[in-house]
Amino acid sequence: MGTVHEECGVFGVYSKTPDHLALLAYYALYAQQHRGQESAGIVLKESSVKGCMMMNKALILEDGSIFRGVGFGSDESRSFEIVFNTSPVGYQEILSDPSYTDQGVVFAYPLIGNYGMNEDDYETRIPTIGAMIVREYNDEPSNYRSVNTLEKIMKRYGIVGISGVDTRMIVRHIRDVGSCRAMIVDADVDVDSAVQKLKETILPTDAVARVSRRSVEVYRCNNSRYHVVAIDCGMKENIVRSLLKRGCDVTVVPWNTGAGNILALDPDGIFLSNGPGDPTDVPEVIETVRELHGKAPIFGICLGHQILALSYGASTYKLKFGHRGGNHPIKNLGTDKVEITSQNHSYAVDADSLKATPLTVTHINLLDHTVEGIECIKDRAFGVQYHPESAPGPQDSGYLFDRFITLMEEEKEHA
């Protein structure tokens, strides 16, 4: 049959936390004690089984649902908004994406941690994700790029996690009832008290201010042709890389930088970044973008797309459980082509609100027909709800950066 090792590894698959292996170990111990080790075909110690079955943490939702599992990462209690992501790879980029600030992410893919953490794939310097919720956590990664385990990085930045829970059930629950407040606490906590605390918890609204750069940073490339000023609302590093490799010097400014200061930098184009939270929480940025209309080509991604829409008088609303994953089909209404996209957002632009604005819809989501792209031809401004820079995810939409380059080139020619 095989050998159950101290870390509950079976048939070469090692994990310290999954409850199905703990159950197997329990029955193996029962067989060993009652029928003898040889007939059971299993070798293990009773202490190993007890360690594997230790469920020391609980995930509690505000409706009273409770899921018990094994903690990893920081050993703290933490409240957050619970969401789910369906990507099969990319947990390092998800962990470090500032858009997940104050959110606990349920990973629909069952095995997390197996290829470790490398130095190159971080999307921010200091991760601010609320929590990691996984089916099975692997603490013995195998990958030539790996320099650390996921748990070590989580402990370094105070990120809590829970494993061994039924993530399929949790995902379906979120789909049914919507995203909600949740917490990871010690398993022996009083559930009624925890639920009451959750109901009284007010989720923060200052996430953009917390994750944005505090000062201006300049990135230069070889043979630069354009200068892009990017408003940092929680900007992913791969966006900067995507602009640099297309010949753009990038000046990244804090979220609350005024229009006058941005124009003083003499940009060829203005970029509005992704970021966490409700776009209406940053009226300062909305007003800044409004003042920038027509001054230079504008390109917005995710939160930046929503801010662009709000700056023209459109409105946004919160989705039931959002879009998070790497396989969302989008239709380009200009070409009738379908793109498979990477997404991470809770809010969307209200299609009906666009009718009273100079904006037109350029892309739609084929799953729920929500607005995925807008443009104002007169002002050379456009935005998309999804992530053309990927990281992680498909690369079908990289052409949008090229479109931004084209707009800046045309602006130069007509200057």
DSSP 362-395: EEEETTT--EEEEEETTTTEEEESS-TT-SSS--
Other beta carbons within 10 Å of 35 = 10
Collapse the DSSP code of 287 into the 3-class scheme (helix H, G, I; strand E, B; otherwise coil) and give the result: helix
User: What torsion, rounded to 10 degrees, do the Cα atoms 148, 76, 167, 178 define?
Assistant: -120
- Beta carbons of 221 and 196 less than 8 angstroms apart: no
Other beta carbons within 10 Å of 45 = 14
List the one residue out of 368, 299, 363, 371 whose CA is nearest residue 336: 363
User: Who's near 283: CB < 8 A, 6+ residues apart?
Assistant: none
Report, as residue numbers or ranges, the catalytic residues.
302, 387, 389
Burial of 390 (0-12, 13-18, 19+ CB in 10 A): buried
**What region does 73 belong to: left with phi over 0, alpha with psi -120 to 50, or beta?**
left
Q: Which two tokens stand for residue 92?
A: 């390092």
Task: Tokens 């050379």: give the residue.
Answer: 380
